[in-house]
Structure 1
Amino acid sequence: MSYNLLAGKKGIIFGALNEQSIAWRVAERAVEEGAEIILTNTAVAVRMGQLNELGEKLGAKVVPADATKEEELEVVFQEAIKTFGKVDFVLHSIGMSPNVRKGRSYDDLDYKMLQTTLDISAVSFHKMLQVAKRLDAIAEGGSVVALTYIAAQRTFVGYGDMADAKSLLESIARSFGYIYGREKGVRINTVSQSPTVTTAGSGVKGMSDLLDFAEDLSPLGNADANDCADYCITLFSDLTRKITMQNLFNDGGFSSMGMSLDAIEVFSKGRDAHK
């Protein structure tokens, strides 16, 4: 169902790769709600993924760009300005850890790969915001959302250095949110999503078990990619004009739970089986 929440608005979606991507669903929902968008990902991702197909489906331009490179980010925002004028919303859905992909434990990190993790998953967010502000590419009252995960606050086995990256990402949202809000009225928030099966998430060790654990612990169950897209749409809309610098949990209540009855029963059965 469409509520026309983004009627007349223009936006940029960073990070859609294929139908598993949360950014893919955000893009679809944004257009359903009346927005016009530009899609962007790295040139390799555009070639190897299905972004061009999504662009054709949504009538959206696809602009290849590496978000870790300021000059390529400038191309994206300049293209948006040329096409739309200033944009009203931006989604940052970018994250990757070579250490996690290669199974390196947190106490045995390759530091060059750690730098890559931080640059892609967090510093790219600062670069994106800095380029957008320098070009004055986001309209007054605009909204920027980045996707994160609760491992920024709590330890989850297998999430490795991505937890550090998400912590930095959330800090950037607060620090830049103050400046961008004060000077341009632009809101910046992060959405902490339930564990979700995506191309990036599938590289996390024990993802299937983590999904099951979160599902059992959360009173409303896990939020899926569609739920996340709906939440992002509300944050892009004028209904959330005074929300900024926040880390907002979209996780079925997981972040507020200590222990659930289902989880206790599973734990007890496992403990009893090992006695």
Structure 2
Amino acid sequence: MSYNLLKGKKGIIFGALNEQSIAWKTAEHAAAEGAEFVLTNTPASMRFGTIDALAEKYNTIVIPADATNIEDLENLISKTMEHFGGKIDFVLHSIGMSPNVRKENAYNDINYNLYHQTLDISAISFHKILQACYKMDAINEWGSVVALSYIAAERTFCNYNDMADAKSMLESIARSFGYIYGQEKHVRINTISQSPTKTTAGSGITGFNNLVDYAEMMSPLGNASADDCADYIITLFSDLTRKVTMQNLFHDGGFSNMGMSIKGMEAISKGLSEKK
């Protein structure tokens, strides 16, 4: 059901790769709520994704951009404003990748050049996007910027590796830039700490399917899907959340406040019994 929550609003969506991705779902939901948007991803990602099909479906354009490159971002923002004939109202940062995770380098034996890449791609890119939008005065007053995080920014999860550090930095950037952008331009900046979600990026983490199953057992409401997350993002883009900023908002079915569930205890007890 559509509520026209984003009627007349325009934005940029970073990171739509294929139908599994949260950015893809967000684009679909944003269109259903009356928004227009420009899609963007790196040229490399576009080669093995299907972003062009998404753009065609919603009669929009794709502007390739490496979010770690300032010139690319300035070009993206300039062309987007030209396309819409003015400023935008929302931005989604759905970008994350760790070369160390892909190469299965343990956290206590990471490659530091790759570590820098993880931080640049997954967190510093968020600062670069915000700074470029700020300097180009690209976002309307009461606009909204959302980035996707994960609870590993605050708690230790095995095999999440240097992505945990990146997510911690991402959340800090939202707070620090959120103060400046909010005070001067009334632009809101938030992060969403989402349930483990079966996307192309998430599936690269060792033991990811087990992590999904564990979170499902622990969460009173079960894991939030990519579609569920898209719905939440839409509310943050809408005028219904005009006074929400600088927050890390958990969207995980209650997982973040759980200690132990009955299902989790039963699974652990069963495993311990089988070991005896």
TM-score (norm 1): 0.99
Task: State the Cα distance separating 1:43 from its structure 2 match.
Answer: 1.1
Say if 2:176 is the partner of 1:161. no
> SS in structure 1 opposite 2:189?
strand
* Structure 1 runs not aligned, ≥5 long: none
Instruction: Name 1:250's counterpart in structure 2.
Output: 251
Query: Distance between the aligned counterparts of 2:267 and 2:201, measured in 1?
Result: 28
> SS in structure 2 opposite 1:61?
coil
> Which residue identity does 1:95 align to in structure 2?
G
> Which residue identity does 1:23 align to in structure 2?
A
Query: Distance between the aligned counterparts of 1:174 and 1:202, measured in 2?
Result: 28
> Which residue identity does 2:168 align to in structure 1?
S
Query: Distance between the aligned counterparts of 1:58 and 1:159, measured in 2?
Result: 35
> Which residue identity does 2:62 align to in structure 1?
V
> Which residue identity does 2:53 align to in structure 1?
E
> What pairs with 1:21-170 in structure 2 (closer than 5 Å)?
21-84=21-84, 85-170=86-171
Task: State the Cα distance separating 1:16 from its structure 2 match.
Answer: 0.6
TM-score (norm 2): 0.99
CA RMSD of aligned residues (A): 0.6
Query: Distance between the aligned counterparts of 1:133 and 1:210, measured in 2?
Result: 37
Instruction: Name 1:180's counterpart in structure 2.
Output: 181
* Structure 2 runs not aligned, ≥5 long: none
> SS in structure 2 opposite 1:156?
coil
> Over residues 126-175 of structure 1, what are the superposed CA-to-partner deviations in whole Å (9 max), with x where a residue is unaligned?
00000000000000000000000000001001100000000000000000
Query: Distance between the aligned counterparts of 2:266 and 2:211, measured in 1?
Result: 17
Query: Distance between the aligned counterparts of 2:54 and 2:246, measured in 1?
Result: 30
Query: Distance between the aligned counterparts of 2:113 and 2:214, measured in 1?
Result: 32
> Which residue identity does 1:55 align to in structure 2?
A
> SS in structure 1 opposite 2:160?
coil
> SS in structure 2 opposite 1:144?
strand
> Which residue identity does 2:156 align to in structure 1?
T
After the TM superposition, list the runs of 4 or more consecutive aligned residues in structure 1 that deviate by more than 2 angstroms.
none
> Over residues 167-208 of structure 1, what are the superposed CA-to-partner deviations in whole Å (9 max), with x where a residue is unaligned?
000000000000000010000000000000011100011010
Query: Distance between the aligned counterparts of 1:47 and 1:99, measured in 2?
Result: 22
> Which residue identity does 1:259 align to in structure 2?
M
**% identity of equivalent residues:** 67
Task: State the Cα distance separating 1:48 from its structure 2 match.
Answer: 2.1
> SS in structure 1 opposite 2:213?
helix
Query: Distance between the aligned counterparts of 1:216 and 1:254, measured in 2?
Result: 9
> Which residue identity does 1:3 align to in structure 2?
Y
Task: State the Cα distance separating 1:81 from its structure 2 match.
Answer: 1.1
> Which residue identity does 1:217 align to in structure 2?
M
Instruction: Name 1:19's counterpart in structure 2.
Output: 19
